[in-house]
């Protein structure tokens, strides 16, 4: 007994404590065999191993789950014949598995194996040789999984690669800090950047306007989950060509780790499609329908007016809805030299366009005034104030307009080949500048108003 004691102490070494008879504390290293068993049983794939003679030496829990045979029942058997493979197929299966001993790298095969309950399952195997201490093949290990599970995994990987390659939708993965981590080709083009340059950057560096709504949607998905429907987000992007306003129809998915016991958010999958052109077309169609309806209503209202000036201002009142904040009506004197203010909307607050009480006075428009230009060109003139607030107020006051006017559209009143005057539409800072489509609408209103005014002139003649 003493000899055994001394041998044990000698084996531990002079500087190592004798742990015989003493309990090991929690910090003691895990024995190699127990660690190997834990690693094998914790694998997501089924694994078995054969020695050089074809005898099973390892069998993990996933293999037991798939086939139903426990480790005690499998380890020590020679091959799969008669229990995990039909006898008629055993030779071929065993030969293909053990052939990995003679070839470097991995070999992939598909086999039909038998469950313990008698059912069959198609598995995909990856086998490779195991080298011994002398560098010679000592056996084979074989990892296998059910084919349908493997195909599902491959489909998921293929789908991910397709989405992040050149999908017809933009795909962006955003982490919990709302910074892009993966951007596909479509999204990179939409953001006006490369596939790597947006990574790790705040969204505010990519989106000039609309980033608050986008980040709010991402926060909601992280906290509450994905919404049921799609959302349309209007954003303004800063590019080398200037700012671009775009509409993105977006869907969101909360990403959680499949490896955690409880869902742990990894971020958000953001999918979007640029629908700017279709949305602008829809808006334009809605605008045209509304303006056509307003002209129809204005015509019916003007037809009930006994006074021609009242009929002309009725057209202007209906045109103002959703179009402008103010309207001014200036008529040309008989000599054709000056314009006289005939009607206007209140300058302090919104209101109808009413005739000037007691008749108007000639307006002192300076040379080059937009109203004078419209009269000279027999067309429409658009203009906008400078950017600074002080310059805007002076700009409007110098041109005899309300001080809050920022954008102007002047169009001529023509009837029977004569210029009858000029109508001016004004917008404040809350509205966009007038566009070509707005000028065409104003010209349609001006034609109707001019016809009413000319009718009054003919009646006086």
pLDDT in tens, 47-102: 999 998 899 999 998 899 989 989 899 999 998 888 888 888 888 888 888 888 88
Helix/strand number for the chain, H first, E second:
13, 17
**How far apart are the C-alpha atoms of 222 and 213, rounded to whole Å?**
14
Report phi then psi at 306, rounded to 5. Answer: -80, -30
Mean pLDDT of 105-114: 87
Whether pTM exceeds 0.75: no
pLDDT band for position 410 (50/70/90)? very high
Q: For position 422, what pLDDT does the model report?
A: 95
Q: Is the pLDDT of residue 17 over 60?
A: no
**For the chain, percent of residues with pLDDT exceeding 90:** 31
Lowest mean pLDDT: which of 66-70, 145-149, 357-361? 357-361
Q: What is the DSSP letter of 362?
A: B
Mean pLDDT of 229-237: 90
Burial of 184 (0-12, 13-18, 19+ CB in 10 A): buried
Report phi then psi at 39, rounded to 5. Answer: -65, -45
Cβ partners under 8 Å of residue 312, min gap 6: 302, 329, 343, 449, 450, 452, 453
Mean pLDDT of 240-246: 80
pLDDT in tens, 125-140: 889 998 888 888 889 9
Q: For position 248, what pLDDT does the model report?
A: 92
Q: Which of the two residues, 302 and 349, has the higher pLDDT score?
A: 302
Mean pLDDT (the chain, rounded): 83
Q: Which of the two residues, 79 and 457, has the higher pLDDT score?
A: 79
| Cα 127 off chain centre by | 43
Lowest mean pLDDT: which of 245-254, 271-280, 398-407? 398-407
Mean pLDDT of 334-362: 81
Mean pLDDT of 184-209: 85
């Amino acid at each position: 007994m003493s000899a055994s004691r001394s041998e044990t102490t000698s084996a531990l070494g002079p500087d190592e404590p004798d742990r015989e008879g003493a309990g090991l504390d929690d910090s003691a290293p895990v024995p190699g065999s127990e660690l190997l068993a834990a690693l094998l049983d914790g694998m997501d794939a089924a694994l078995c191993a054969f020695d050089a003679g074809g005898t099973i030496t390892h069998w993990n829990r996933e293999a037991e789950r798939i086939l139903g045979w426990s480790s005690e029942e499998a380890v020590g058997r020679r091959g799969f014949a008669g229990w995990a493979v039909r006898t008629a197929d055993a030779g071929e299966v065993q030969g293909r598995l053990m052939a990995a001993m003679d070839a470097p790298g991995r070999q992939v095969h598909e086999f039909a194996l038998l469950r313990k309950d008698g059912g069959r399952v198609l598995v995909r195997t990856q086998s490779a040789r195991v080298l011994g201490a002398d560098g010679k093949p000592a056996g084979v290990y074989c990892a296998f999984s059910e084919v349908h599970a493997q195909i599902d995994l491959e489909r998921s990987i293929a789908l991910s690669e397709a989405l992040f390659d050149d999908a017809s939708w933009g795909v962006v993965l955003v982490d919990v800090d709302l910074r892009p981590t993966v951007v596909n080709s479509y999204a990179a083009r939409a953001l006006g950047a490369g596939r790597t340059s947006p990574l790790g950057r705040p969204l505010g560096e990519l989106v000039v306007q609309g980033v608050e709504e986008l980040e709010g949607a991402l926060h909601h998905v992280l906290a509450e989950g994905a919404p049921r429907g799609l959302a349309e987000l209007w954003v303004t992007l800063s590019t080398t060509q200037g700012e671009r306003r775009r509409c993105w129809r977006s869907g969101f998915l909360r990403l959680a780790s499949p490896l955690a016991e409880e869902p742990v958010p990894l971020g958000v999958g953001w999918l979007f499609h640029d629908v700017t052109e279709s949305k602008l077309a829809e808006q334009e169609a809605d605008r045209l329908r509304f303006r056509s309806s307003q002209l129809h209503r204005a015509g019916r209202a003007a037809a009930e007016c006994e006074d021609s000036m009242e009929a002309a201002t009725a057209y202007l009142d209906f045109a103002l809805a959703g179009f402008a904040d103010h309207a001014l009506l200036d008529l040309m004197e008989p000599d054709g030299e000056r314009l006289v203010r005939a009607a206007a909307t209140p300058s302090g607050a919104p209101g109808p366009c009413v005739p000037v009480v007691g008749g108007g006075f000639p307006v002192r428009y300076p040379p080059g005034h937009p109203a004078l230009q419209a009269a000279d060109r027999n067309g429409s003139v658009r203009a906008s104030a400078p950017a600074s607030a002080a310059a805007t107020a002076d700009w409007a006051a110098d041109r005899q307009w309300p001080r809050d006017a920022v954008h102007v559209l002047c169009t001529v009143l023509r009837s029977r080949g004569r210029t009858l005057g000029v109508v001016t539409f004004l917008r404040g800072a809350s509205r966009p500048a007038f566009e070509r489509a707005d000028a065409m609408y104003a010209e349609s209103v001006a034609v109707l108003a001019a016809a009413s005014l000319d009718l009054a002139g003919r009646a006086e003649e």
